[in-house]
Amino acid sequence: MDKNIQNFKAIGLDIDISELPTPIYIVDERLIEKNLKILKDVMERTGCRILLAQKAFSMFSLYPLIGRYLSGTTASSLFEARLGYEEMKSREVHIYSPAYREDEFDEIMRICDHIVFNSFAQWNKYKGKVKASNKRIECGLRINPEYSEIETDIYNPCFTGSRLGITLDNFRDGDLEGIDGLHFHTMCEQNSDVLKRTIKVVDEKFGKYIKGMKWVNFGGGHHITRPDYDIDTLIECITFIKEKYNVEVYLEPGEAIALNAGYLAAKVLDIVKNNVEIAILDTSAACHMPDVIEMPYRPKIVGAGESGQYPYTYRLGGMTCLAGDVIGDYSFKEPLQPGDILIFTDMAIYTMVKNNTFNGVNLPAIASYNEKDGLKIIKKFGYEDFKGRLS
């Protein structure tokens, strides 16, 4: 069997590769639905509400599917809010931003039913508009418990000097009239033991303010659909806050919805040598999977191992002029050849939402897969998409 076909068979996708453009993101709807069923079970066992955080995954062609399981969407901007409002109809639309633009706020009120403010100054600036609105909008404040177990500052909302959330020293109980809930976000790709320790701090510091609130939002960063995730501890945390304060609990994971449910297929264009064997691909870390450089991390590839694990090791590089456009060093059981297709795993999250056209490199096509329809190419990109961002 052709090794390209073998790679697709290995991840359970029956695809005619002769018709496959590369690079291409492929999202497996079966795996999305598997994740959604886990989240739905948490909702049913606790009575909590779970929202899709669109900053991680905004493939709106799948919003009808997601909307059958989750309570709605959460956004970090007007455009994200509008996407959730338009594409996941009749579901809740939440928004949080470090600060809101005056020229966008009326539209935000039209679209959103929950608005979370980052400071008392922002709340006081806009609360008159909210109260005068013709619709019921629930408002919240983001708190900063000054506790987080994230080790990398760029992803830590609670590092010293963070702009995100109100610390206890800056919290003013005299300005809470009209506030329905409190929101905290302290986690990133973590298990529920971290949430349990965080809840203890939040309860000790802000418990007196939670009294009288309608809801508490635990934010995102919960890796609920990861195989080793402790769901019972998550349920314990949700139940503790719900029962102690008689409040609704929200969670807004992004990664958990599409975790391990997507792939990026890319083609080998050339093999060059400079002390090491280097395979040039038609994809790019800088353009198509920016977190590989930003976090950084090393994505997995179907059938590949660590450097030196198998007989043939290659450094995989992108097609931009950025010297650091390198995905990593991988080994293979057989030598790579131009035309071979490599499949990167866990490529649904923080890829489509963050990719770019640096150097004029085209964006990957986007496809979904299910057993009924097989592979469906949802969208292809071209020159006009590149040019349309410029002037």
Average pLDDT on 241-250 reads 98
What is the pLDDT, as a whole number, of residue 152? Answer: 85
Q: CATH number, domain at 364?
A: 2.40.37.10
165 and 276 assigned to the same domain? no
- Cβ-Cβ contacts under 8 Å for 128 (sequence gap 6 or more): none
Question: Average pLDDT, stretch 51-67?
Answer: 98
Sign of CA dihedral 341, 345, 351, 352: positive
DSSP E strands, the chain: 24-28, 49-53, 72-75, 92-96, 114-117, 138-142, 181-183, 215-217, 248-251, 262-274, 276-281, 312-317, 326-332, 341-345, 365-370, 374-379
Q: pLDDT at position 37, please? A: 98
What local confidence, expressed as pLDDT, does residue 13 receive? Answer: 85
In this model, does residue 200 exceed pLDDT 80? yes
Residue 223 has pLDDT above 80, yes or no: yes
| Together in a domain, 360 and 380 | yes
Rounded mean pLDDT of the chain? 96
Assess whether 170 and 210 both reside in one domain: yes
Its domain, for residue 79, covers 47-258
Query: Are the C-beta atoms of residues 369 and 27 closer than 8 Å to each other?
Result: yes
pLDDT in tens, 291-331: 999 888 899 999 999 999 999 999 999 999 999 999 999 99
pLDDT in tens, 204-221: 999 999 998 999 999 999
Q: Per-residue pLDDT tens for 105-155?
A: 999 999 999 999 999 999 999 999 999 998 999 999 999 999 999 988 889
Does residue 36 lie within any of the structural domains?
no
Flag whether pLDDT at 8 surpasses 90. Answer: no
| Dihedral, CA of residue 76, residue 78, residue 80 and residue 82, to nearest 10 | 140
Of 232, 258, 284, at which residue does a domain stop? Answer: 258
Asked if 191 and 228 touch (Cβ cutoff 8 Å), the reply is: yes
Last residue of a domain, one of 258, 282, 312: 258
Task: Establish if 296 belongs to a structural domain.
Answer: yes
In a shared domain, residues 219 and 147: yes
Average the pLDDT over 325-348 and give the result. Answer: 97
pTM, two decimal places: 0.95
User: Does the pLDDT value for residue 19 go beyond 80?
Assistant: no
Residue 17 has pLDDT above 80, yes or no: no
Judge whether residue 384 has pLDDT over 70.
Answer: yes
Identify the band that residue 1 occupies on the pLDDT scale cut at 50, 70 and 90.
Answer: low
343 shares a domain with 196: no
**Spatial separation of the C-alpha atoms in residues 176 and 212, rounded to whole Å:** 10
CATH number at residue 251: 3.20.20.10
Is the same domain home to 213 and 132?
yes
202 and 78 share one domain: yes
Considering the domain architecture, whether residues 14 and 147 belong to the same structural domain is answered as: no
Percent of the chain with pLDDT over 90: 91
Q: For residue 3, what pLDDT is reported?
A: 80
pLDDT reading at 14 higher than 90:
no
As for how many domains the chain has, the answer is 2
In terms of domains, do 168 and 239 share one? yes
- Both 69 and 115 in one domain: the answer is yes
In a domain, 355, yes or no: yes
| Whether 281 and 348 share a structural domain | yes
Least confident of 24-28, 50-54, 371-375: 371-375
Question: Looking at residue 4, what is its pLDDT?
Answer: 80
Res 164 pLDDT > 90: yes
* Same-domain check for residues 206 and 113: yes
Is residue 33 a part of any domain in this protein?
no
What is the per-residue pLDDT across 186-195, written as a single tens digit (0 to 9) for each?
999 999 999 9
From 235, 258, 281, give the residue that closes a domain.
Answer: 258
